[in-house]
Amino acid sequence: MNNKHSIKKTLFIIYLLIIFSMLIGNLFPYISYERYNSVLNDVSERVYDIKDLIETNAKIDVALSNFVFSGDRIYIDQIYNNYQDLIINSNKYKEIVFDEKSHLYLENIENILDNEYSEMLESTIWSVRGVDEEAKQVNYYQFKKINQYVNIYLQMLFDRELENSRQIKTQLKEISDEMTVRIAIFMFSNLVFILFLGFSYGRRLSNNLKKLTDAAEEVSHGNFQIEKINLDSDDETLLLAEAFNKLIGNTKSLINKIKDNANLEVKLHKEEAEKSQMEVLLNQAKLKGLQAQINPHFLFNTLNVIAKTAIIEDADDTCELIENVSDMLRYNLNNIDRIITVNEEINNIENYISIQKARFGERVEFIIAIDSKFLNYHLPLLTLQPIIENAFMHGVEDLESGGEIHVYSTQIENKDYLVIEDNGVGMKQAKAETLLMEESTTSHSTGIGLNNVRKRLEFYYNREDVMFIKSEVAQGTQVFIQMIDSIEVENV
């Protein structure tokens, strides 16, 4: 699980952002409320402080009046204590005023308190102790006037600070309103972005899952030929897609392997069938051969006796004929599945022809004209003899004279052929082809018909077009055998 952005992680971030936005959105009204509350309290306190200054100033006036008219010294402490308070508090307050005007008023108050106020206070107190009633009266009223001026300044300060506090309250209200708007904008914009984020992520996730489910559906219907799934993702869906792609790939290769095995099996079956057919043909030929081998030693001994008798009687032709028959029979008694050269096969048919010449005399002429390059080509044993025998039986046998059997090599469409051609009675083409396709019913010296020859050639060359026949009534017959070099045969 090395994916950078797992679904869990992404959802966690989205939840975190929502909580964060909510937290900020709720925290700030609280912070600003606390702050505004503190400022408002501070502002109210200031106004009350000034009110205290005004009261202190009034207390001095009252205490002085009481002292002037009663002469009771008890009021002197009140006067000085309140005066000290007035000095201290006005000085202290001067440091925490809101604006220039308030500061100016307090500076004026300070100047008055330090000078005329204290002087007239002292003068009045001293004049009370004296006997000069007029001075006492003048000083008292002069102090009252100065006390009034201080009071005026304090009132002006009070009004000013009240106005300032009102302005601050208004300002706080404006800030509070602006804060509300800001929080609303903040919350709204964050909401929009979080929605966008959620929607965007959700859509991507949904698209990716849809791609996967579509692909899975295709596979469930047996269609493995689907494109590789590419996802725009780096979360678990990507892992899922990669696993799915791998699964599809493995399944495809498994299916191909099974198909190949099946094909191979079919091919093997076919080959086995062909092999067994070949074995049947060979067995057939062998059977025919065995039939011909019935007591061959007796036959050869007999033929030798006849040949010696012919020599004794000076019948040389008979002797040669018997020897040819003997050679031919010996050749024919060879193993039927043996492969021999064209040259060997030609030697054999020459023996056969010399025997047939003894039979047909001048009625039939044999012509052999084969290119020497073909003499070393290979063929199955007894390929040519059955064909020549067929040419006698179905071609020239019935001719009174002028019969010809040609054995020659030729090229047709760049392919080499051996051709056995006779000018006998011929036959219809259909019948000629039947000879190639059907088992022979006619008795050959070898017991092997054209059909057997064709099939053995086809097995040997492992192809089907190696032999064909052309014939026409009264026009003779041509049998074509394709010649293939031994090397090519091995390759086949």
Joined tokens for residue 207: 């698209």
Helix or strand run (H / E) with residue 195: helix 133-220
Among 12, 15, 20, 126, binds other proteins (CB under 8 A): 20
- Burial (Cβ within 10 Å: 0-12, 13-18, ≥19) of residue 389: buried
Q: How far apart are CA 220 and CA 251, in angstroms?
A: 12
Q: Does 234 bind other proteins (CB under 8 A)?
A: yes
Residues 279-318 that bind other proteins (CB under 8 A): none
Amino acid sitting at position 346? I
Binding mask 193-232 for other proteins (x = CB under 8 A): xx-xx--xx--x---------------------------x
Q: Are 366 and 353 in contact (CB under 8 A)?
A: yes
Which of helix, strand or coil describes residue 413?
coil
Looking at beta carbons only, is 95 or 314 nearer to other proteins?
Answer: 95
- Cβ contacts of 156-160, under 8 Å, gap ≥ 24: 156/105, 157/50, 157/53, 157/102, 157/105, 157/106, 157/109, 158/47, 158/50, 158/51, 158/54, 160/99, 160/101, 160/102, 160/105
Among 13, 22, 258, 266, binds other proteins (CB under 8 A): 13
Binding mask 132-171 for other proteins (x = CB under 8 A): -------------xx--x--xx--x-----------x--x
* Cβ at position 210, least distance to other proteins in Å: 15
Q: Does 41 bind other proteins (CB under 8 A)?
A: no
Q: How far apart are CA 418 and CA 452, in angstroms?
A: 18
Stretch that binds other proteins, among 91-99, 296-304, 366-374, 463-471 (CB under 8 A): 91-99
Among 3, 6, 7, 17, binds other proteins (CB under 8 A): 17
- The site that binds other proteins (CB under 8 A) totals a number of residues, namely 55
Q: Does 104 bind other proteins (CB under 8 A)?
A: yes
Looking at beta carbons only, is 116 or 350 nearer to other proteins?
Answer: 116
Q: Does 186 bind other proteins (CB under 8 A)?
A: yes
Phi, psi of 376, deg, nearest 5: -95, 0
The pairing of beta strand 415-422 with beta strand 476-482: antiparallel
* Cβ at position 269, least distance to other proteins in Å: 55
- Burial (Cβ within 10 Å: 0-12, 13-18, ≥19) of residue 474: exposed
Q: Are 446 and 460 in contact (CB under 8 A)?
A: no
Joined tokens for residue 403: 């019969």
Q: Does 236 bind other proteins (CB under 8 A)?
A: no
* Cβ at position 56, least distance to other proteins in Å: 19
Stretch that binds other proteins, among 84-92, 128-136, 188-196, 459-467 (CB under 8 A): 188-196
Joined tokens for residue 408: 């020659």
Sign of CA dihedral 16, 18, 20, 23: negative
Among 42, 177, 274, 398, binds other proteins (CB under 8 A): 42
Q: Does 270 bind other proteins (CB under 8 A)?
A: no
**What is the number of alpha carbons within 13 Å of residue 124 lying toward its C-beta?**
32
Stretch that binds other proteins, among 16-24, 133-141, 296-304, 367-375 (CB under 8 A): 16-24
Stretch that binds other proteins, among 89-97, 396-404, 427-435, 478-486 (CB under 8 A): 89-97
Q: Name the residues that contact other proteins, by CB under 8 A.
A: 10, 13, 17, 20-21, 24, 28, 31-32, 35, 39, 42-43, 95-105, 107-108, 111-112, 115-116, 145-146, 149, 152-153, 156, 168, 171, 175, 178-179, 182, 186, 189-190, 193-194, 196-197, 200-201, 204, 232-234
